[in-house]
Amino acid sequence: MDPQKFDYNQDYNYNFGSNYGPGFNPNNNFYNKRSRNMEVAALVLSIIAIASCSCIYVSIICGSLAMIFALLSKGGATSMSSMAMTSFWIAFAAVVITLIIYISIVYALKNKNDLTINRLAWPTHPTLMNFQRVITENDQFLTGYKNSILTTVPVVVLLMLITSMAAYVLARYTTRVYKWIYLIFISGMLIPIQCIMLPFYINFFKLNLTNSNLGFVIARTGLQIPISILVVTGFVKAIPLDLEESARIDGCNRFKMFWKVVFPLMKPVNATQLVLNTLFVWNDYTTAIILLRKPFARTLILAQMAYFNEYTSDLNLAFAFFILATLPILIVYFSMQKYVVGGIMR
């Protein structure tokens, strides 16, 4: 090529000098860098917001800023990146959770007079009288607490034992029969309980299992097995087979291999299903309203309905009841938090 006829700007698109390379556009580079910084800022702020839900103002401010940064990060693009989208929804969830916590605390600390003046303002004279009234005046509270504990604990323990052993078998035996058994288990998730409410109640009534903790434990254990099998089986498949081979060489049979080698390694996923199953069973309304109709058999979720009737509702007492009923769930979650993340990520 003749050097005299060679045009750098035209032939190689050196629009901004040869130091940048062909096709370089400093404006695009600037916007990409700014968008990346906004995505990182949105992610950091969303994590701070979800971690500080108990600090109302911090969570709302950080969550709002995270959503704004996530929206601005797309620049001229038609949609947000995956990081920005994740940050946006984490921040949104943090703001919603914080508002629920704030409203619950405000209502629980107010008397009826403050509640009628300004519902969402912080109470001028906070009082714990509502919590005392819930415990002392409502007979259903202590009964509901007792029934919730007596049903939730057995269901969680049974599910941990049953699903751990079943998931181990389904993960280690890969023949067609076991694959069909696994699909049958998982297909239980596709059937909503509303479709089986009538035969569900009739069968338990004939077996004299209505209005009893035993009937509720049997029902909730059966309903929770599919989702627990799905969670635990995926975790067991990720456990290396070499560990079991070493145990077999040392003389362990299949039963000992499971309890001494595999089951201790399942601590993260067992903690995860413990938290999830506790949450589902403790807050179960549909199964409870079908089977537990008598006042002496009601769980907490049904006992709370005493504050709502056809003509009036005691919102301050209802929210105090709600906070007291939520405390066991929070204790279980925070005590198992370090294991839950590992169980979900595996």
Task: Show Cβ contacts of residue 86 under 8 Å, excluding neighbours closer than 6 positions.
Answer: 43, 46
Fold of 129-345: MetI-like fold (1.10.3720)
pTM for the whole structure? 0.73
Q: Dump pLDDT digits (tens) for 178-188.
A: 889 888 888 88
Mean pLDDT by 10 residues, the chain (346 residues): 49 44 46 76 85 77 88 72 86 87 85 73 81 84 90 94 91 86 85 84 91 92 89 87 85 85 88 89 90 88 76 76 87 76 52
Burial of 147: CB neighbours in 10 Å, binned 0-12, 13-18, 19+: buried
Distance CA 148, CA 333 (A): 17
121: left (phi over 0), alpha (psi -120 to 50) or beta: beta
Residues 19, 24, 25: CA angle, nearest 5 degrees: 120
HSE-CB for 85 with a 13 A CA cutoff: 5
Which SS3 state, helix, strand or coil, does residue 251 take? coil
Q: Dump pLDDT digits (tens) for 239-256.
A: 888 888 888 888 888 888
Tell the residue number behind the tokens 């509502």, with chain if given.
Answer: 130
Q: Dump pLDDT digits (tens) for 324-341.
A: 888 888 888 878 777 665
Tokens coding 184: 């049958």
The ranges assigned to domains in the chain are 3-108, 129-345
Q: Residue type for 10, please? A: Q
